[in-house]
Structure 1
Amino acid sequence: MTRRVFQLRVTLGDVTPPVWRQVLVPAAYTLDRVHRVMQFAMGWQDCHLHSFEIEGAQYGEPDPDGDLPLLDEMDYRLDEVAGPGTRMCYVYDFGAWWEHEVVVEEVLPADPGVRYPMCVAGERACPPEDVGGPEGYAEFITALVDPSHPRHIVMWDWIGRPYDPAQFDPDQVSTLLRRLT
């Protein structure tokens, strides 16, 4: 049987200009591994809860208290729950509610000489962890780029590292994704 890869287009919702990635993911990956691909591809740090919604079903890490009814993401493979054209919603950080639209653009034969998963394209840096969701990110960017903004220095101190919202390197993401194989 020929190995297949899913070409996924991941777009972060409610953020302008758009932050997006195009990744190639093995079709046989379970959804917990797809979650890890999302984390590396987008630049998140996997510090918060997450879930997938695919055709009305919710997948994620089962809630031990049973308050959040989710199908166990470790029990479902990508190729069992999605196909070409499938649209999924991936939510990361239920407090900030980072909603990602994930579209299966194509299902392709895997190239035996290529290591998957890999990032093939994308634009813009991911918002920093714990910035406060889309609204907090918009405020963060406004303060960051305007030296006269009253929170300019506070935001630079808070981030504590160089941050360029326009920066994105798919090769760097692919290097990180190799840790999953």
Structure 2
Amino acid sequence: MPTYIFKIQIVGVDPPVNRVVKVSSESSFYLFHHIIQIVFGWKNYHLYQFIFNNYRIADSRLVDENVGKYNDCKATMLEDLFTKIGDKAIYEYDFGDRWIHLIELVDIESSPVCELLPIIISGSNSCPPEDCGGISGYKELKMILTNPKHEEFESYWEWVGINFNPTKFSLQTTESEIRKLNKIINGYEKGFE
């Protein structure tokens, strides 16, 4: 089983927010969605889709029949579409805020290695808070958080929490969260029972 190393970056965010992850090539796009949610610190509150060229992948339980042709994320494996280094796709999360993530396959390891996947390799900067209004809203949020004279300064700090820092990324915390992957997915699935 080959392993894939992906670099994933949120498009248009400054400072750049990215993660590098190692996953099994046999992972479904459904599993990959949950991995992306965890490594970026998203809360999985919103709809999502992957776009690979003109190929759309989404969770069939969440897609409105009027959206057009798509493929189910549980039935589509990473190895079905990512076949060579340099292959790219888009992961769109939250169709309101429209967080676009560029996914690039940066390495393929063919030699079997005894390691527990997925693995977070590296990352930079904090993910924007959920529901902050997309790129422009995030830019405004950061401006308000640095201006104690702004009328919404205190309420914004209350909303994001005192520990919020747009330039912070903790590899150790993310490694700990990725180990909860199965528990997180099981909790998510209970919402469909």
Confirm or deny a common fold (TM above 0.5): yes
Q: How far apart are 1:53 and its partner, in Å?
A: 0.3
Write the letter of the residue equivalent to 2:89: M
Query: In the alignment, which residue of structure 1 is the partner of 2:72?
Result: 72
Query: In the alignment, which residue of structure 1 is the partner of 2:23?
Result: 25
8 Å contact from structure 1 (residues 90, 102) kept in 2:
yes
Aligned length: 179
TM-score normalised according to structure 2 size: 0.87
Matched residues in 2 for 1:52 and 1:64: separation? Answer: 13
8 Å contact from structure 2 (residues 15, 167) kept in 1:
no
Residue identity over aligned pairs, in percent, reads: 26
Q: Which runs of 5+ in 1 are unaligned?
A: none
Matched residues in 2 for 1:88 and 1:115: separation? Answer: 25
Residues 84-120 of structure 1 show CA distances to partners (whole Å, capped at 9, x for unaligned) of 2111000000000000000000111365332110111
Q: How far apart are 1:163 and its partner, in Å?
A: 0.6
Write the letter of the residue equivalent to 2:13: V
Matched residues in 2 for 1:124 and 1:64: separation? Answer: 31
Query: In the alignment, which residue of structure 2 is the partner of 1:34?
Result: 32
Q: How far apart are 1:151 and its partner, in Å?
A: 2.0
Query: In the alignment, which residue of structure 2 is the partner of 1:7?
Result: 5
Runs of 4+ in structure 1 off by over 4 angstroms are none
Residues 38-60 of structure 1 show CA distances to partners (whole Å, capped at 9, x for unaligned) of 10011100010000001210001
SS of structure 2 residue aligned to 1:176 = helix
Mean alpha-carbon deviation: is it higher for 59-68 or for 42-51? 59-68
Equivalent positions of 1:33-72 (< 5 A) are 33-62=31-60, 63=62, 65-69=64-68, 70-72=70-72
Structure 1 residues 101 and 65, CA gap change in structure 2 (3 angstroms)? closer
8 Å contact from structure 1 (residues 22, 122) kept in 2:
yes
8 Å contact from structure 1 (residues 10, 103) kept in 2:
yes
Matched residues in 2 for 1:109 and 1:169: separation? Answer: 29
Mean alpha-carbon deviation: is it higher for 159-168 or for 134-143? 159-168
8 Å contact from structure 2 (residues 38, 174) kept in 1:
yes
8 Å contact from structure 1 (residues 116, 178) kept in 2:
no
Q: How far apart are 1:64 and its partner, in Å?
A: 5.3
Matched residues in 2 for 1:116 and 1:140: separation? Answer: 35
